[in-house]
């Protein structure tokens, strides 16, 4: 349920309702809107809960949350959420650009990429140190050494670091180096991992599972939010369909749909979404036109020699051209792309 406070309700009145909600065995989430404060009361509804809360001082109304996800819902928080993590801002009038290689491979590779993407206007650096690979015989990432290289690149360029965490017992280690913890598509429904990142102070980039519905994505986000971490960025990275010409199918309607259903910011990944370098620039531009709050793009100094996902990576020149194209669309949408 949502307890909608009256305009100008006092802090004491809000605090009192929070205590009432908790004494009823429900979890409370206070959301300060531009107009008024609302308190989401999450949990099993019991008889008389609504009536009992309605009689509280400063309460205007108590309404049910219709969506299965609660804290992520626009019903609870109509104002869009802007997630900030160092140099990265996603949401509002900014279109954040997270760019970098699929995997961190060497000092030279990650530093040269960080410099190039920063010069072209990226606002964060991506790079996997722990890689979820389909085959156990493929490159698994440089692990902590890779995290260290990402931190060095941040030190030099000022770019925030976005990197994947794959396991609950590696959350502390990755959070020590990263600004944004990426939950990969394969882990979208790893609920213990979602709870673990929900207990950190790092922003979370939650990728859609290739066969997950949008409601399942939002309910996965709910696991993070429910632990008290409000900084969740949703990522559409393509889903599995019957189509074989592209690696995945990239549904941009997701952006428009999510915009209506959730206040959380949305990022599109046209690299994994298409799996083909030649399709990435136009699909990045289309994502901006659909209203995305951010892009995540794979960029490599020499895609031909990449240890993972080279066939969908942009080289530096292609990245620069993609940024130019996307910037034109962003301007038309009265948004600012990148830095």
| Beta pairing class for 266-268 and 294-298 | parallel
Phi, psi of 158 (to 5 degrees): 85, 0
DSSP state of 335: -
Contacts with Mn ion by CB under 5 A lie at 102, 309
Task: State the binding partner of 207 from Mn ion, ligand PEP, none, CB within 5 to 8 A by kind.
Answer: ligand PEP
* Residues 29, 42 contacting (CB under 8 angstroms): yes
Q: Which residue is nearest to ligand PEP (CB)?
A: 184
Query: CB of 101: closest distance to Mn ion in angstroms?
Result: 8
140 versus 318: smaller Cβ distance to ligand PEP: 140
Q: Which of 58, 100, 184, 301 binds ligand PEP (CB under 6 A)?
A: 184
Residue selected from 128, 270, 275, 281 as contacting ligand PEP according to rule CB under 6 A: 128
* C-alpha distances in Å from residue 19, one per residue of 25, 100, 227, 230, 252: 10, 46, 18, 21, 42
CB of residue 216 vs Mn ion: minimum separation in angstroms?
Answer: 22
Q: How far is the CB of 186 from ligand PEP (least distance, A)?
A: 6
What's the min distance (Å) between Cβ of 103 and Mn ion?
7
Selection from ligand PEP, Mn ion, none that 94 binds (CB < 5 to 8 A by kind) is: none
Q: Which of residues 193-232 bind ligand PEP (CB under 6 A)?
A: 207
Q: Which is nearer to Mn ion, 182 or 229 (CB)?
A: 182
CB count within 10 Å of CB 68 equals: 12
* DSSP code per residue over 270-285: HHHHH--GGGHHHHHH
d(CA 139, CA 284): 27
Binder among 25, 78, 132, 228 for ligand PEP (CB under 6 A): 132
b/e per residue, 139-165, with b = 16+ CB within 10 A?
A: ebbbeeebbebbeebbeebebbbbbbb
Q: Which stretch binds ligand PEP (CB under 6 A): 143-151, 153-161, 182-190, 278-286?
A: 182-190
User: Is 53 exposed, middle or buried, given 0-12, 13-18 or 19+ CB atoms closer than 10 A?
Assistant: buried
Residues 229-258 that bind ligand PEP (CB under 6 A): 237
Between 121 and 128, whose beta carbon lies closer to ligand PEP?
128
Spatial distance between the Cα atoms of 207 and 221, rounded to a whole number of angstroms: 10
For position 300 contacting ligand PEP by CB under 6 A, the verdict is no
**102 vs 183 by CB, closer to Mn ion:** 102
Which class for 71: exposed (0-12), middle (13-18), buried (19 or more C-beta within 10 A)? Answer: buried
CB of 329 to ligand PEP, least distance (A): 23
Q: Which does 121 bind (CB under 5 to 8 A by kind): ligand PEP, Mn ion, none?
A: none
Between 58 and 101, whose beta carbon lies closer to ligand PEP? 101
| DSSP secondary structure letter of residue 23 | H
Point out which span in 138-146, 181-189, 299-307, 331-339 binds ligand PEP (CB under 6 A): 181-189
Q: What residue ranges bind ligand PEP (CB under 6 A)?
A: 102, 128, 132, 184-186, 207, 237, 272
């Amino acid at each position: 349920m949502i307890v909608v406070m009256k305009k100008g309700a006092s802090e004491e009145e809000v605090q009192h309702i929070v205590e009432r909600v908790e004494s009823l065995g429900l979890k409370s989430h206070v959301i300060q809107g531009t107009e008024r404060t609302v308190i989401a009361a999450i949990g099993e509804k019991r008889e008389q809960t609504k009536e009992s809360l309605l009689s509280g001082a400063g309460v205007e109304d108590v309404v049910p949350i219709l969506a299965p996800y609660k804290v992520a819902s626009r019903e609870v928080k109509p104002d869009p959420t802007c997630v900030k993590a160092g140099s990265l801002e996603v949401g509002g009038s900014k279109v954040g650009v997270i760019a970098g290689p699929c995997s961190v491979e060497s000092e030279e590779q990650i530093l040269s990429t960080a410099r190039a993407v920063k010069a072209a206007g990226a606002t964060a650096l991506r790079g996997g140190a722990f890689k979820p690979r389909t085959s156990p015989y493929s490159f698994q990432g440089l692990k902590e050494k890779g995290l260290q290289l990402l931190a060095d690149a941040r030190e030099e360029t000022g770019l925030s670091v976005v990197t994947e965490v794959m396991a609950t017992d590696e959350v502390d280690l990755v959070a020590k180096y990263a600004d944004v913890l990426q939950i990969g598509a394969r882990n979208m429904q790893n609920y213990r991992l979602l709870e673990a990142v929900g207990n950190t102070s790092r922003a979370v980039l939650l990728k859609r599972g290739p066969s997950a519905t949008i409601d399942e994505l939002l309910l996965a986000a709910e696991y993070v939010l429910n632990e008290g971490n409000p900084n969740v960025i949703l990522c559409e990275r393509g889903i599995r369909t019957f189509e074989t010409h592209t690696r995945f199918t990239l549904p941009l309607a997701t952006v428009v749909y999510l915009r209506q259903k959730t206040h959380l910011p949305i990022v599109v990944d046209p690299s994994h979404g298409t799996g083909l370098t030649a399709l990435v620039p136009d699909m990045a531009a289309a994502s901006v036109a659909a209203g995305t709050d951010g892009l995540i793009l794979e960029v490599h100094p020499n895609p031909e020699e990449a240890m993972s996902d080279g066939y969908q990576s942009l080289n530096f020149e292609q990245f620069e051209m993609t940024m130019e194209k996307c910037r034109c669309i962003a301007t038309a949408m009265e948004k600012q792309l990148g830095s």
